[in-house]
Amino acid sequence: MIPLHWYLWLSAVVFMVGVAGFLMRRNIIIMFMSIELMLNAVNISLVSFSRYLDDMRGQILVFFIIAVAAAEAAIGLGIIIALFRNKVTAHVDEANEMKG
């Protein structure tokens, strides 16, 4: 059987890539995709825990995470459309009317 640590490593790497994308990319849609990456990293670790702890509850949480991710994506894209209507940009850092 594959050691649980391997899955954890994989999960951590994907999470890091997600965070990196989130912090580096200009395009807000890619930022959203990076968040999805992070969530997938979490899911990987949860499913592997579920398997290795002989417990289904991790999978339940994954199920909920996927559902919520869909909801967040929907509303997120709604707000992106609204932002685009206002600014004609998908570069989120250009929305900085408020600071200080």
Partner 1 sequence: MFSKHWMLIAPARCGAEMMELLWLIPAFPLAGFLALAVTGARMPKRLAAIIGTGSVGASAVVALFIGMHFISSPPQGHLSSQTLWTWIEIGEFRPSITFYLDPLSLVMTFVVTFVGFLIHLYSTEFMAEEEGYSRFFAYMNLFVCSMLILVLADNLLLLYLGWEGVGLCSYLLIGFWYKDHANGRAAMKAFIVTRVGDTSMAIGFILLYFNLGTLNIQEIMQRASQAWPVGSTFAVAAAALLLGGALGKSAQLPLQTWLPDAMAGPTPVSALIHAATMVTAGVYLIARTNVLFTLAPVVQEAVAVIGALTLLIAGFSALTQHDIKRVLAYSTISQIGYMFLALGVGAWSAALFHFMTHAFFKALLFLGAGAVILALDYEHNMFRMGGLRKELPLTFWTFLIGSASLSALPLVTAGFYSKDLILWYSLSSEDGSPWFWAAGMAGALLTSIYTFRMVFLIFFGAAKGRVSRKPGMTMKFPLLILAVLSIIGGFVELPRIPIFSEFVKTALPSAKTLHEGLLGEGMQQVIASGVSLIGVSIAYLLFLRAPLNVERFTSHPAGKALHRFWFSGWGFDWLYNKVFVGPFIWIARTNKDDFIDLIYGGMAWYGRFFHVALSLTQSGKVRWYAMGITIGAVITIGITVFL
Partner 2 sequence: MTLNDLAPLIPLMVIAVSSVIIMLGIAFYRSRAFSGLLTLAGIAVAFITLFGVQGTRQVTSLLILDDYALFYIGLILAASFVVALLSSDYLEGRRENIEEFYILLLLSTLGSSVLAASTHFVSFFIGLEILSVSLYALIAYTRNELNIEAGVKYLVLAAASSAFLLFGIALLYGETGTMEFSRMSSGISAQGINKGMLLTGFALVLTGVGFKLAVAPFHMWTPDVYEGAPAPVTAFVATVSKGGVFALLLRYFIQVDMHAYPSLFGAVAFIAVASMFAGNLLALLQKNIKRILAYSSIAHLGYLLVAFLAGGVMRVTAVTFYLVAYFITTLGAFGVVTMLSGKERDADAVEDYQGLFRHRPWLALIFSAMLFSLAGIPLTAGFIGKFYIVAAGAGSALWLLVIMLVINSAIGLYYYLRIIVVLYAQPGHSEVSAVSSLPLTGSLVLVLLTVLLLWLGVYPEPLIEMIHRMTMRF
Partner 3 sequence: MLAEGIFIYLAAAITILSVLVITRKNPVHSVITMLVLFFHIAALYVTLNAEFLAAVQVIVYAGAILVLFLFVILLLNLKEEAVARRYVGPWPLGLMAAVGLFLAIIVSLDSFVAGPKGAFTTEVIKAETNTKALGKILFTEYLYPFEVVSIVLLVAIIGAIVLAKKRLRS
Q: Which residues make up the interface to partner 1 (CB under 8 A)? A: 19, 22-23, 92-93, 95-100
Contact partner at residue 42 from partner 1, partner 2, partner 3, none, CB < 5 to 8 Å by partner kind: partner 2
Query: What Å distances lie between residue 85 and 19, 90, 99, CA to CA?
Result: 27, 10, 22
Kindly identify the residues of this chain, within the stretch 22-51, that bind partner 2 according to CB under 8 A: 22, 28, 31-32, 35, 38-39, 41-42, 45-46, 49
CB–CB of 43/34 below 8 Å? no
Shortest reach from residue 34's CB to partner 3, in Å? 6
Q: Report the C-alpha gap between 33 and 64 in whole angstroms.
A: 18
